[in-house]
Amino acid sequence: MTRSLAGQPVIAFDTEFMWERSYSPTLALIQVADRSQAWAIDPLRLSARSMRPLLDILVSPDTLKVAHAVDQDQICLHRTYGIVAEPVLDTAAAAALLGMGEQLGLSTLLRKLLRIRIKKGYTRTNWVKRPIPAHMLKYAVEDVAFLPAAADVLRKRLRSLGRTDWALELSARAALQAKAQFDPDAVSRKLADSRRLDKATFGVLRELVAWREQRAQKSDVPRKWIAEDKVLVRLAAARPTSKEALADFRGVGAIKNEAGLKSLLFAIRQGIRANADDYRVADRKPHVTQVESAALVVLRCFLGVLAASNNLPLRLVVEPDRMVELLRRPIPDLGALQEAKILDERAVDVIGDDVVAILNGGRALRLRGGQAVLEEE
């Protein structure tokens, strides 16, 4: 198999796993394919050393790896073998950049691109159980068998629009997220940023997240079984340092015994003493006035129509929280828009001139035949 895959310019891959009741996913199957053959590999029966030839191909810069909705596949690879597949083209991300819809399912994608229908329905199957029935293996292999051909069509369309690099950049984000998935510091920073926690609270939260990760990993249970994110944030803000103060907090499954209670209090005290100078408090979400709120409704309509007419999801053009900056900042020309760095820089290349015209009253939005249409003023 690896002899056939080695040196191929494009291969496809997918994974099947179990993750309902464990700390991290149990990788149960890896499917790979080139343009003529597809294989299913059993990682439960093969050592990491035996898997090395395949892993080398998955990280080879000379082979493009194609996968559909690759996020969890990358998590499985990173958690199991310490690698992420790269370079990768996520066919879901590519489809979104081509105006085919966001979060497009694989079966729908293959039907639209290749007029091929595959059966779905084994997502919640126990893939760890052995032997794997033949009909399930057939289902698993179909997830990759047609992906190289689908990728050929997608890449041709992306090239015609000049969006190939954009698609690869979006696809690569899954690898970064996979590496951060079990990093306590990354997890705590994400939680803190979303709530704009101060440095003192972040210092305690970081210790609590590390405490939860250690206990969840040791017990091999989902981290939420130890404590949910919102509970850790409340504990970090309140900083209880005694058993009596902890009595008011519910939802911490690890403090039902004395040892768990002591370890939690120790983590809180460690966090109180910790130096969190490496943490920068996230910028506050801009307050939107009533007048701006009305203007944002109009601007969102304009940008939504503009994005759709260029086969782009609006979320890839501008983050919702930053849209108000377009109203507040003078943007007289394309150079000012590029300098502002409010829109995705690749989106600016595609629709920047129209955005500048919209912001300066140079476009009108009209209804015609039941559709919203942009027109020059």
- Together in a domain, 268 and 327: no
Closest CA to 166 of 104, 90, 100: 90
The pTM of this model reads 0.92
Task: Quote the pLDDT of residue 243.
Answer: 85
Has residue 253 got a pLDDT over 80? no
The residue out of 210, 243, 273 marking a domain boundary is 273
- Together in a domain, 303 and 351: yes
Has residue 71 got a pLDDT over 80? yes
Q: Using pLDDT thresholds of 50, 70 and 90, give the confidence band for residue 282.
A: confident
Q: Using pLDDT thresholds of 50, 70 and 90, give the confidence band for residue 123.
A: low
Tokens standing for residue 219 = 């017990």
- Long-range contacts formed by 280-283: CB under 8 A, 24+ apart: 281/196, 281/197, 281/198, 281/199, 282/192, 282/193, 282/194, 282/196
- Together in a domain, 201 and 155: no
With respect to residue 192, please indicate whether it lies within any of the assigned structural domains.
yes
- Together in a domain, 148 and 12: yes
Exposed/middle/buried for residue 17 (C-beta within 10 Å: 0-12, 13-18, 19+): buried
Has residue 137 got a pLDDT over 80? yes
Has residue 79 got a pLDDT over 80? yes
The residue out of 180, 199, 229 marking a domain boundary is 180
Q: At 214, which CATH number?
A: 1.10.150.80
With respect to residue 282, please indicate whether it lies within any of the assigned structural domains.
no
Number of helical (H) and strand (E) elements in the chain, helices listed first: 18, 7
Say if residues 322 and 344 touch (Cβ distance below 8 Å).
no
Q: For the chain, how many structural domains are there in total?
A: 3
pLDDT tens-digit series, residues 110-121: 999 999 998 776
Say if residues 164 and 155 touch (Cβ distance below 8 Å).
yes
CB atoms within 10 A of CB 294: 11
The residue out of 123, 153, 180 marking a domain boundary is 180
Say if residues 95 and 104 touch (Cβ distance below 8 Å).
yes
Q: Which residues does 373 contact at the CB level (< 8 Å), separation at least 6?
A: 305, 365, 366, 367
Order of strands across the sheet with 64-67?
38-41, 26-33, 10-18, 64-67, 88-90
pLDDT tens-digit series, residues 213-247: 999 999 999 999 999 999 999 999 999 999 888 87
How far, in Å, CA of 81 to CA of 77, rounded? Answer: 6
